Amino acid sequence: MVRIKHRYLLVNILYPDSNNVANGSWKRPADDVPYTVQFRRPTPDRMDSKLLARLVRDGVSELFGDYGSGMIAGSLQIKYFSPATSTAIIRVSRDHYRMVWAALTFATHLPKPVDLSCVIQVVRVSGTVKKAEEEAIRRARLSIRRAAAIAPTTDLTLGGVGAIDNAASDDKFSNGIEDLDDDDGDDDDDDG
């Protein structure tokens, strides 16, 4: 049975730039919102998985040319994307995941309609979607707890971006090198 094996990259999109305006739809956070919450703010709704896929494909094409584009074309898929938590799970074929990872690292802006400067951080590389999802949930929980601990009284809605107070429910937690470990796996798709 010859199966194509994949790698699932769990990815965070962070926004460290204080000058991001995003064509007017992005409000400046109030001054007492701690940096750590600002960095993990939600992504505008205009951003969706199609744009993210475009970002990855363009990045790979720029860095690795036609070869790279060809190699990942068949298997690249955005499995999950949540603008509220600025998290995504991207599927790549196992042999070429580093190319996609490098393209994500080199990305500096979200694509045109959104046009925000950002930093993309790959947080986990997993052989199965399930593990990637579990990790995403775990991180979301931790970051809520963390944000609640930091600023229980501050208004965490970042001046009105997304009335949902998802400002806090973002993933985090690289308190240790523990989870930033790669390759969860040569335990490839056990569920198939």
Partner 1 sequence: MFYDLNIPWSANDSNLNRTLTFLHELGYTTIALNHTLSGKLPSDLTCPILTTLPNLPSDLTLLRRCTLTLTDSHSNARLAQLAQNYDLLAVRPIDEKTLQQACTALESVDLISLDLTVRLPFWFKHKLLHEAVKAGKRFEISYASALHGDANARRNLISNAAQLIRASRGRGVVISSEAKTAVAARGPWDVVNLAAVWGLGQERGFEAVSGECRSLIVGARLKRSSYRGVVDVVYGGEKAEVKKKEKEKEADAVNDKAKKRKAEVLDASNAPVVSKRQMKRQQHAAREAAKLENASGGAENGEKTETIPKA
Select the span of 23-31, 46-54, 81-89, 102-110 touching partner 1 (CB under 8 A): 102-110
d(CA 86, CA 143): 13
As measured in angstroms, the least distance from the Cβ of 137 to partner 1 is: 20
36 makes contact with partner 1 (CB under 8 A): yes
Full strand arrangement of the beta sheet holding 87-93: 77-82, 87-93, 6-14, 119-126
Specify the pairing of strand 87-93 against strand 77-82: antiparallel
119 makes contact with partner 1 (CB under 8 A): yes
Q: CA nearest 28: which of 19, 37, 15, 36? A: 19
26 makes contact with partner 1 (CB under 8 A): no
144 makes contact with partner 1 (CB under 8 A): no
Mapped onto helix, strand or coil, the DSSP state of residue 132 is helix
159 makes contact with partner 1 (CB under 8 A): no
- Terminal C-alpha separation, the chain: 12
d(CA 38, CA 119): 13
d(CA 153, CA 26): 23
151 makes contact with partner 1 (CB under 8 A): no
Tokens of 175: 């308190």
Judged by CB under 8 A, the residue of 25, 108, 160, 187 near partner 1 is 108
As measured in angstroms, the least distance from the Cβ of 105 to partner 1 is: 4
d(CA 125, CA 32): 34
Tokens of 180: 């930033």
172 makes contact with partner 1 (CB under 8 A): yes
As measured in angstroms, the least distance from the Cβ of 174 to partner 1 is: 4
Select the span of 49-57, 78-86, 113-121, 159-167 touching partner 1 (CB under 8 A): 113-121
Select the span of 31-39, 42-50, 75-83, 130-138 touching partner 1 (CB under 8 A): 31-39
As measured in angstroms, the least distance from the Cβ of 1 to partner 1 is: 29
Interior CA angle at 178 toward 8 and 52, to 5°? Answer: 30
Write out the residues near partner 1 by the rule CB under 8 A.
14, 16-18, 35-36, 39, 98-99, 101-102, 104-106, 108, 117-119, 121-123, 172, 174, 177, 180, 182
